[in-house]
Amino acid sequence: MNYQIKQYDKFKFIEEGEGEPLLLLHGLFGALSNFKDLVEHFKTQYKVVVPILPLFELDIFHTTVGGLEKHVYKFIEARNYNNIHLLGNSLGGHVALVHVLKHPERIKSLILTGSSGLFENGMGDTYPKRGDYEYIKKKTQLTFYDPAQATKELVDEVFEITNNRLKVIKIISLAKSAIRNNLGEELQQIKQPTLLIWGNNDTITPPFVAKEFNKLIPNSELYFIDKCGHAPMMEVPAEFNVLLEKFLSKLKQPAATIA
């Protein structure tokens, strides 16, 4: 994905296209490349924005879901985006949820896929000794229904992160924060139309999690995709984009007028 990474103040992000902002939040081991098909598809109709979340740049006390949400809030305010369609995968979904609950005023709709916030199976309670490439490879493969999606390039990226002691400490801090920050009692406050797209074979945030989100978020609709794991926008981008486009196009329609 050869998009220019822009810098505005302390924020790094990509921004492609014009229209209402479609703002995408990646997960704990995520990167801009997770969204390449989505950016390509929607940049003709929307301003697609992908901020690079400072997973490893914040001090340890702010390396939390709340700390990432503050970064997103400041980014949105600095860029003055309005009528935002906010989409998050995995930890990014959790950050999106916290943001909508705290600052709903600029958000037009919410899209969650494989989101934490209620329940997740992370990397397990402990990390292996640094340097265990096969372990990291297996864990990365668990993200997908099809293990071949865990390319060598992707496994290498995750391995590099988990081989850095300070980054591992911050990953554990974020993972613990996500587990502690359960939003079950607050989700009914969300007023925005919400789309839930879930992999039927997601082992990290299994299908029952999606059903619980659907039950707790008042104006939400849920779609499952078969033979798909924790990152549908990567694994089955065509199906994901069709569902998202249908949802967004409904929001474009003017409200019905009473004769």
Under 8 Å between Cβ of 64 and 111: no
The bridge status of strand 11-16 relative to strand 6-8 is antiparallel
Average pLDDT over residues 135-149: 91
Closest by Cα among 91, 111, 95, 125 to 48: 111
Closest by Cα among 224, 218, 238 to 196: 224
Helices (H) and strands (E) in the chain, counts: 9, 8
Question: What is the percent of the chain with per-residue pLDDT over 70, rounded to a whole number?
Answer: 93
Q: In whole angstroms, what is the distance from residue 225 CA to residue 232 CA?
A: 8
What separation in angstroms does the CA of 94 have from each of 59, 65, 110, 114, 127? 20, 7, 11, 10, 22
Structure tokens at 253: 């329609």
Question: What is the percent of the chain with per-residue pLDDT over 90, rounded to a whole number?
Answer: 78
At residue 16, φ and ψ (nearest 5 deg) are: -130, 135
Condensed to tens digits (0 to 9), the pLDDT of residues 72-114 reads 999 999 999 999 999 999 999 999 999 999 999 999 999 999 9
Predicted local distance difference test score (pLDDT) of residue 1: 58
Angle between helices 65-79 and 165-180 in degrees, nearest 10 = 90
Q: In whole angstroms, what is the distance from residue 158 CA to residue 29 CA?
A: 7
Which residues have C-beta within 8 Å of that of residue 218, sequence separation ≥ 6? 188, 190, 191
Q: Is the pLDDT of residue 128 over 60?
A: no
Q: DSSP strand E in 28-150: where? A: 47-51, 84-89, 107-113
pLDDT band at 130 (very low <50, low <70, confident <90, very high): low
- Count of CB atoms situated within 10 Å of the CB of 20: 18
What are the boundaries of each domain within the chain?
Answer: 6-250
Q: In whole angstroms, what is the distance from residue 133 CA to residue 168 CA?
A: 15
pLDDT band at 123 (very low <50, low <70, confident <90, very high): very low
What does CATH list as the number for 6-250? 3.40.50.1820
Query: In which residue are the tokens 């199906």 written?
Result: 239
| Beta-bridge mates of residue 11 | 8
Query: What is the DSSP-derived secondary structure letter of residue 25?
Result: E
Q: Is the pLDDT of residue 257 over 90?
A: no
The three-class DSSP label of residue 129 is coil
Average pLDDT over residues 125-152: 83
